[in-house]
Each structure stands twice: as structure tokens, then as C-alpha cells.
């Protein structure tokens, strides 16, 4: 029987992502506040389904909504670092990026009593120094890159990228990459937003989006005898009633299809057991 794993992950941003972009009107803040009732609904569903998950939580959310995040921790879910302010690492410079990691870790340790094992970049945009910083601060895995869909791999550093030259791949590192995809993220499908940069329409039919999500697992099942598929949700997005019905439906279907639901930390352990020398992702 194939060993097929699913990681349900939740980026518990609440208001942090809006504030980091300067969107602080009462209505925009209230959209983040919806993460409070949404998290309660999600935790109830996960408890009913007996599913362990991983929540990437900015320090801003931890420190601003303590009872909300305490419920996540009390339910036994893994908590990973998602920065502190939800600012994009590639815009901060090395010192600013490191301070985000440190402050985010401090918030998590006050909540859980231990340092996080995993990291996910706000907006999934790492900098040239991110991998080195993550290893410096003891992270085991990152979940911000998109080089595969079903197989984790070793994060590289130091690629040489020149417009008119072939890409020169840098060396692999001990940091495990747990790949993600915008296609398996609820936010671009569902969340309407309006900004000077443009309009994100959102509002997609939840049934059709979840059908796409399920088919990603079915493809893995058909062509792979081992793999890990990661889904990304945001409580204030997926927590709407009609979407919660579809999330519950997705979990039921994946269970019937043979999915093993695990935290990302557990999935990394499965990867290391399967590939003790790691997986290299490079073109040559």
C-alpha cells in the first residue's frame, strides 16, 4: 500500500497581513478579526476528524490574540514561525529579516515553551539570505518554495543567477524544503481584495476549488507510491460557512482515498526515513 501523506496547514494571519501593508481601516481590520470565530470552527472540525495539523502564526497574531492562539496550542497542533509582522523577507534586508525570525520565535516560545521546528515565509518570498538565517536559528524545515508538488527536497543556497548566463545551482543544505503551491492555497481563490496594485477578485465557487484540491491528491495516488501533499489555508478565509462544508468534504474524500494526515514536523521525519541522503533538486 502506498504511503501518501497530507499536511493541512493554516496561516493564522488575522490582522497582521493587512497591517503590514498599511491597510488599517476599521473594515480591513475586522476582516482579520474574523480569524477568531473561524479558528474556533476549524479546531472543532479537526477535533471531530482527529487530524493533527500545522499552524504558521505570526508573532503579531500570537501577541494580539492570545486566547485565540492558545486554543490552537491546547488542541495539540504544531506551531511554526511565520515572521512577526508578516512583512515579506525579501524586502527587509538581512538584519531586519533576522529580527523578524527572532521576535517570531520569542512569541512562539512564550506560547508553547519550545522553539519552532518549521518556518513559512509571509507571501512565500524568501531572500538570498533566508536559508542561511533559518539554519543559523535551528530550523529543520522551510515551507515557502515550489520546486515539487509531492516530494520534499533539500533547500539550496547561493544559486548564481545572471540574465544572459545559464543558471548555476548552489549547494544543497541540511534544511528540508516542504513545497507548497499557490494553486493549493485558499487565499487567491477565495479572498477579494482591492488595492492600488490592483484587484484580486476571489469569490470562487468553493465546490470547484475543493475538487481541484482533491484531484491533486488523486494524481499523487495514481503515479506515486510515496509522497507528501501540502494544503495551505487561512482561518479568516476558509472559515466561512460554505467553505467549511467543502473543507469537511475534502477531508472525508481524502480519508477514503487513503490519505495519512500528519503535521509538517512528522512529515519531515517520514521524508528523512525514506530519503536518508535527501533529495536533490537541480537541473544537472
Query: Which residues share a beta bridge with 81?
Result: 57, 119
Mean pLDDT of 249-262: 98
In this model, does residue 167 exceed pLDDT 80? yes
- Its CATH class, for the domain covering 8-274, is alpha beta
Q: How far from chain centre, in Å, is Cα 88? A: 14
Q: Please provide the distance, in angstroms rounded to a whole number, between the alpha carbons at the two ends of the chain.
A: 32
Residue 68 grid coordinates: 485565540
> What cell numbers appear for 180 in the block?
507548497
Q: What is the pLDDT of residue 284?
A: 58
Q: Are 149 and 124 spatial neighbours (Cβ–Cβ below 8 Å)?
A: no
Q: 112 in helix, strand or coil?
A: helix
pTM: 0.95
Is 11:56 a contact under the CB 8 Å cutoff?
A: yes
Query: What count of Cα atoms within 13 Å lies in the side-chain half-sphere of residue 3?
Result: 8
Taking only the tens place, the pLDDT of each residue in 80-102 is 999 999 999 999 999 999 999 99
Q: Per the structure block, which three cell numbers stand in for 65? A: 490574540
| Local confidence band at 192 (pLDDT 50, 70, 90 cut-offs) | confident
Mean pLDDT value of segment 240-250: 97
Q: What gap in Å lies between CA 54 and CA 12, rounded to an integer? A: 10
For the purposes of burial, counting CB atoms within 10 Å of the CB of 90, is it exposed (0-12), middle (13-18) or buried (19 or more)? middle
Average pLDDT over every residue of 159-180: 96
3 state DSSP class of 252: helix
> CB–CB of 182/171 below 8 Å?
no
User: Which tens digits make up the pLDDT trace of 42-66?
Assistant: 999 999 999 999 999 999 999 999 9
Amino acid at each position: 500500500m502506498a504511503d501518501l501523506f497530507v499536511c493541512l496547514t493554516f496561516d493564522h494571519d488575522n490582522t497582521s497581513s493587512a497591517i503590514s501593508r498599511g491597510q488599517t481601516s476599521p473594515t480591513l481590520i475586522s476582516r482579520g478579526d474574523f480569524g477568531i470565530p473561524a479558528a474556533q470552527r476549524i479546531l472543532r472540525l479537526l477535533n471531530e476528524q482527529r487530524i493533527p495539523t500545522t499552524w504558521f502564526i505570526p508573532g503579531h497574531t500570537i501577541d494580539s490574540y492570545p486566547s485565540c492562539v492558545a486554543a490552537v496550542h491546547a488542541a495539540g497542533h504544531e506551531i511554526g514561525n511565520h515572521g512577526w509582522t508578516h512583512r515579506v523577507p525579501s524586502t527587509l534586508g538581512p538584519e531586519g529579516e533576522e529580527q523578524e525570525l527572532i521576535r517570531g520565535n520569542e512569541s512562539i516560545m512564550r506560547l508553547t515553551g519550545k522553539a519552532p521546528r518549521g518556518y513559512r515565509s509571509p507571501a512565500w518570498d524568501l531572500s538570498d539570505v533566508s536559508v542561511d538565517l533559518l539554519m543559523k536559528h535551528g530550523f529543520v524545515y522551510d515551507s515557502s518554495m515550489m520546486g515539487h508538488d509531492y516530494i520534499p527536497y533539500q533547500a539550496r543556497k547561493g544559486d548564481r543567477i545572471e540574465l544572459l548566463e545559464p543558471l548555476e545551482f548552489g549547494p544543497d543544505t541540511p534544511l528540508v524544503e516542504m513545497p507548497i503551491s499557490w494553486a493549493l492555497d485558499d487565499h487567491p481563490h477565495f479572498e477579494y481584495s482591492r488595492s492600488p496594485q490592483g484587484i484580486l477578485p476571489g469569490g470562487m465557487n468553493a465546490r470547484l476549488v475543493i475538487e481541484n484540491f482533491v484531484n491533486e491528491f488523486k494524481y499523487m495516488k495514481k503515479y506515486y507510491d510515496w509522497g507528501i501533499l501540502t494544503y495551505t489555508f487561512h482561518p479568516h478565509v476558509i472559515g466561512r460557512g460554505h467553505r467549511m462544508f467543502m473543507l469537511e468534504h475534502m477531508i472525508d474524500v481524502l480519508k477514503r482515498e487513503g490519505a495519512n494526515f500528519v503535521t509538517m514536523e512528522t512529515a519531515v521525519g517520514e521524508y528523512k526515513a525514506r530519503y536518508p541522503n535527501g533529495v536533490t533538486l537541480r537541473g544537472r
